[in-house]
Structure 1
Amino acid sequence: MKPVSIRTLRSTDTEALLAFERDNREWFERHIDPRDPAFYSVQGVTEHIATYLADFAAGAWHPFVIEDPEGKIVGRANLKDIDLAEGSAEVGYRIAQSACGQGLATLAVKHLIQQAQVHWRLNRLVAHVYAGNIASAKVLKRCGFLIEQLALHEGIERDYRFGLWIEESHQYATGSKDNS
């Protein structure tokens, strides 16, 4: 895997983010709910970024982009619905189809876990994955998430809720878990 960087989304990312989203629209819509068609424009992405950055400033979201060595966006990752009182948030991520299979989703989720713990002092993360999205389920399991429940949506669509207690998984990963 070539080195990539993960950084907080910036207001100057409009063109690059629009290209990423347009290039991967069909791919993403196979695995997650489709975006409103109005999103796929300079104005739509500009408003999207402004909303995410306002939510970041308010402490409700932390949006990241993943860039390849040339600075092209190849993925996104977010801590969303951050609840500081409960110490929890939801994770979400999407990787360009051309960058799949390179470990970027795992890298993104590990980055979210680290940021949740260090930057936000959270201790609980959740993620929702459609039942047919086996690759995302594997990524979450690889990062220490466990299946908590199965939900049905409007008939036949099902998804799984995964959860992670950060402190426990961090201690386990570092070998410092106290079993007393």
Structure 2
Amino acid sequence: MKPVRIRTLQSTDAEALLIFELDNREWFERHIDARGSEFYSVQGVTDHIAAYLSGFAAGTWHPFVIEDPAGNIVGRANLKGIDRSERSAEVGYRIAQGACGQGLATFAVRHLIQQAQLHWNLKQLVADVYAGNIGSAKVLERCGFLIEQTQQEGTVQDYRFSLTI
């Protein structure tokens, strides 16, 4: 894996984040829920970042970006739905199509686990994965997550993974 940096999302990331999201929109929409069209503008991403940073300030989110050595965003990772009384959160991540296969998703999930423990004192993490997203399932298993349950909606089966830390 090439050297990368993971850091907390900042309000100044709007233009770089928009480029990342636009460049990878079709790729992401094959694996996760699509974002609304209003998201894909500087104002849409600025509003998105403001909401995430508000959640961070409130202690319910911890949003990160992953940058390559040139400072380009190549991934995102989030602790979301942080519940300090239950000491739990959900993990989510997305890696640029061109950066897949380099260990970035595993790096991101391990970083989320570390932050969940050290920064938030959490004990339980969960992640939802579409059945067709085999790569994400493998990443979670590699990081110690276990399949907790399956969810059937129509003909699509999704998976929930959990990790006790």
TM range (shorter): over 0.9
- After the TM superposition, which residues 123-142 of structure 1 pair with which residues of structure 2 at under 5 Å, given as runs? 123-142=123-142
Mapped to 2, the partners of 1:35 and 1:112 lie a distance apart of: 23
1:156 is aligned to 155
What SS does the aligned partner of 2:158 have?
strand
2:86 maps to a residue whose letter is E
What SS does the aligned partner of 2:115 have?
helix
Q: Which runs of 5+ in 1 are unaligned?
A: 167-180
Mapped to 2, the partners of 1:60 and 1:6 lie a distance apart of: 19
1:171 is aligned to none
Give the CA deviation at 1:17.
0.1
Taking structure 1 as the reference length, what is the TM-score of the superposition?
A: 0.91
1:80 is aligned to 80
How far does the alpha carbon of each residue in 1:58-113 deviate from its partner, in whole angstroms, 9 at most, with x for none? 00000000000000000000000000000000000000000000000000000000
Equivalent pairs counted in the alignment come to: 165
Taking structure 2 as the reference length, what is the TM-score of the superposition?
A: 0.99
Q: Which runs of 5+ in 2 are unaligned?
A: none
2:94 is aligned to 94
Mapped to 2, the partners of 1:19 and 1:156 lie a distance apart of: 34
Mapped to 2, the partners of 1:136 and 1:159 lie a distance apart of: 12
Between the aligned residues of both structures, percent identity stands at 76
Give the CA deviation at 1:157.
2.0
Give the CA deviation at 1:53.
0.1
Verify: 1:115 aligned to 2:105, yes or no: no
2:94 maps to a residue whose letter is R
Give the CA deviation at 1:158.
1.7
What SS does the aligned partner of 1:48 have?
helix
Task: Mark the structure with the bigger radius of gyration.
Answer: 1
